[in-house]
């Protein structure tokens, strides 16, 4: 331990003290019209002191800590899995088993957990959609929630004004979101990566402000309520059928007792269906020339252009397909909630979806599904810490970029190695 290290640690601790003393140590307090301040409680000062001590020690022993981290063997997932040939025969069975479990599972657990699972599936869909844009094509989109909003409002408005059913609106919503993606993407995709991030962010804000202020169509801040739920071939899941004389409800048709959990399970199954559809679609696309072009463009734009790839068309396809996935998720979201307002489509949502993609590993589908599950279930488990949720998201994003930018489960390309 050298002296310079000691000074360094003292310096870092001093900086931490400066950062913490005013912003955490003193609290603004409005008393009447006058602004006053009050000191933090002893407990808070203990926390600050603890933080400073932690920074001091970690700087002092940074070398030792680093070597400790290095000495922990990294778990190698590839060696834990069976061999590649075995894997190929095993995989369809695995997937089939997983689907069967996902279908049977909701009948055995409580309504709340099925509902939570449906929410998780929405986030998986959004994560997979953003993954096409960010992970595969390498375009940072910070306004992804705008397409989600377009999908949600398309279904809500069509159902309210024209009485169209969910199943008709689902492709229309995806199409509308794709159209928005296309119209926005066409001009802005010529821009370099970080400009694109800001433009999409601005676009997301524009959409939200428009939804908020176009009161006579979108209902403004109070949103749209009473959105129709999906039906099973015209069978409703309500207690009494609403649509006309000969309309029947699900429980009447099948001679069952009415139970509200049928609806929840039905919504969950739709979500499962949509997610499977999206995963299948993306998997096919990734193996098509267009999917390969996305990744090639992400890796080296100049090389792609010199090979004659039309970069705008390729980026635009990724952007549009990603947007349409968000439209899908949006339509389903508004059907599930029965109520939407611009509040659901703020920037933080975009940031959460981005955090899912980053945490899971950009490009890696399995990683994103895992990350979406973690990101939606953890906050539910730790409800008393809900205030700290976004704080931890932000911290996690910084830490992931610093220590594991490839994500929890990095993307693995199918590859062939020639043996000498």
Partner 1 sequence: MSEFSLYLLQQLINGLTIGSTYALIAIGYTMVYGIIGMINFAHGEIYMIGSYVTFIVIAGLVSMGMVSLPIILIIALVIAMFIASTYGWAVERVAYRPLRGSNRLIPLISAIGMSIFLQNSVGISQGFRDVALPPMISGGWAFGNPADFEVTVSYMQVVIFAVTFVTMTALTLFISKSRMGRACRACAEDLGMTNLLGINTNKVIALTFIIGAALAAIAGLLLGLYYGVVNPFVGFIAGLKAFTAAVLGGIGSIPGAVLGGLVLGVTEAMTAAFFPSEYKDVVAFGLLITILLFRPSGLLGKPEIEKV
- Contacts to partner 1 by CB under 8 A: 15, 18-19, 22-24, 26-28, 30, 33-37, 40, 134, 138, 140, 142, 187-188, 190-195, 197-199, 201-203, 205-206, 209-210, 212-213, 302, 347-348, 351, 354-355, 358, 387-388, 390-391, 393-398, 400-402, 405
Residue whose CB is less far from partner 1, 26 or 95? 26
Token pair belonging to 373:
């599950």
CB of residue 367 to partner 1, shortest distance in Å: 15
Token pair belonging to 151:
């999908």
Residue whose CB is less far from partner 1, 100 or 399? 399
Inter-residue contact 330 to 150 (CB < 8 Å): yes
Separation CA 82–CA 79 (nearest Å): 7
CB of residue 399 to partner 1, shortest distance in Å: 8
Who's near 35: CB < 8 A, 6+ residues apart?
28, 29
Q: Give helix 347-360 / helix 193-213 axis angle, nearest 10°.
A: 140
Separation CA 355–CA 412 (nearest Å): 20
CB of residue 394 to partner 1, shortest distance in Å: 3
Inter-residue contact 128 to 282 (CB < 8 Å): yes
Are β-strands 34-39 and 339-340 bridged in parallel, bridged antiparallel, or unpaired?
unpaired
C-alpha 174: how far from chain center: 17
State residue 346 phi and psi, 5-degree precision.
-90, 170
Residue whose CB is less far from partner 1, 228 or 353? 353
Token pair belonging to 180:
């928005």
Residue whose CB is less far from partner 1, 194 or 245? 194
Q: What is the torsional sign of CA 213, 217, 219, 223?
A: negative
Separation CA 151–CA 138 (nearest Å): 23
CB of residue 17 to partner 1, shortest distance in Å: 10
CB of residue 289 to partner 1, shortest distance in Å: 24
CB of residue 314 to partner 1, shortest distance in Å: 17
Residue whose CB is less far from partner 1, 122 or 188? 188
Residue whose CB is less far from partner 1, 134 or 323? 134
Half-sphere exposure of 253 (CA within 13 A, CB side): 14
CB of residue 115 to partner 1, shortest distance in Å: 26
Residue whose CB is less far from partner 1, 278 or 355? 355
Output the furthest CA–CA distance in the chain (Å, rounded): 88
CB of residue 12 to partner 1, shortest distance in Å: 9
Separation CA 383–CA 73 (nearest Å): 34
Helix then strand count (H, E) for the chain reads 18, 4
State residue 68 phi and psi, 5-degree precision.
-60, -45
Residue whose CB is less far from partner 1, 33 or 79? 33
Token pair belonging to 16:
């931490």
CB of residue 315 to partner 1, shortest distance in Å: 14
Residue whose CB is less far from partner 1, 196 or 274? 196
Residue whose CB is less far from partner 1, 179 or 390? 390
Could you give the C-alpha distances from 258 to 239, 250, 252, 322, in angstroms and in order? 6, 9, 8, 39
CB of residue 207 to partner 1, shortest distance in Å: 10
């Amino acid at each position: 331990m050298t002296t310079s290290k000691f000074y360094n640690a003292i310096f870092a601790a001093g900086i931490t003290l400066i950062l913490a003393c005013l912003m955490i140590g003193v609290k603004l307090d409005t008393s009447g019209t006058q602004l006053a301040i009050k000191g933090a409680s002893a407990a808070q000062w203990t926390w600050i002191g603890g933080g400073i001590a932690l920074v001091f020690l970690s700087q002092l022993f940074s070398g030792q800590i680093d070597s400790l981290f290095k000495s922990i063997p990294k778990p190698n997932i590839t060696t834990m899995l069976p061999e590649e040939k075995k894997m190929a025969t095993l995989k369809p069975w695995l997937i089939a088993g997983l689907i069967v479990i996902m279908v049977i599972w909701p009948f055995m657990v409580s309504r709340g957990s099925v509902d939570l699972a449906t929410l998780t599936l929405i986030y998986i869909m959004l994560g997979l959609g953003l993954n096409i844009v960010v992970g595969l094509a390498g375009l940072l989109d910070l306004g992804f929630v705008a397409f989600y909003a377009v999908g949600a409002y398309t279904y809500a408005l069509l159902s309210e004004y024209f009485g169209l059913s969910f199943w008709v609106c689902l492709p229309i919503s995806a199409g509308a979101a794709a159209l928005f993606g296309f119209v926005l993407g066409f001009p802005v995709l010529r821009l370099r990566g970080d400009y694109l991030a800001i433009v999409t962010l601005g676009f997301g804000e524009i959409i939200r402000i428009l939804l908020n202020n176009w009161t006579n169509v979108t209902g403004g801040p109070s949103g749209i309520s009473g959105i129709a739920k999906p039906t099973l071939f015209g069978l409703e899941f309500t207690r009494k059928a609403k649509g006309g004389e000969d309309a029947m409800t699900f429980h009447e048709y099948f001679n069952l007792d009415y139970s509200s959990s049928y609806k929840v399970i039905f919504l969950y199954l739709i979500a499962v269906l949509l997610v499977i559809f999206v995963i299948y679609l993306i998997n096919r696309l990734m193996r098509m020339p267009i999917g390969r072009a996305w990744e090639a463009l992400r890796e080296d734009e100049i090389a792609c252009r010199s090979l004659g790839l039309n970069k705008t068309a390729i980026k635009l396809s990724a952007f549009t397909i990603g947007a349409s996935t968000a439209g899908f998720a949006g339509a389903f979201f508004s059907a599930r909630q029965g109520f939407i307002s611009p509040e659901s489509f703020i920037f933080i949502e975009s940031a959460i979806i981005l955090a899912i993609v980053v945490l899971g590993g950009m490009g890696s589908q399995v990683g994103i599904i895992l990350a979406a599950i973690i990101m939606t279930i953890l906050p539910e488990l730790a409800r008393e810490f809900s205030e700290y949720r976004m704080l931890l998201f932000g911290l996690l994003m910084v830490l992931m970029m610093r220590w594991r930018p490839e994500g929890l489960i990095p993307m693995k390309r199918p590859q062939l190695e020639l043996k000498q």
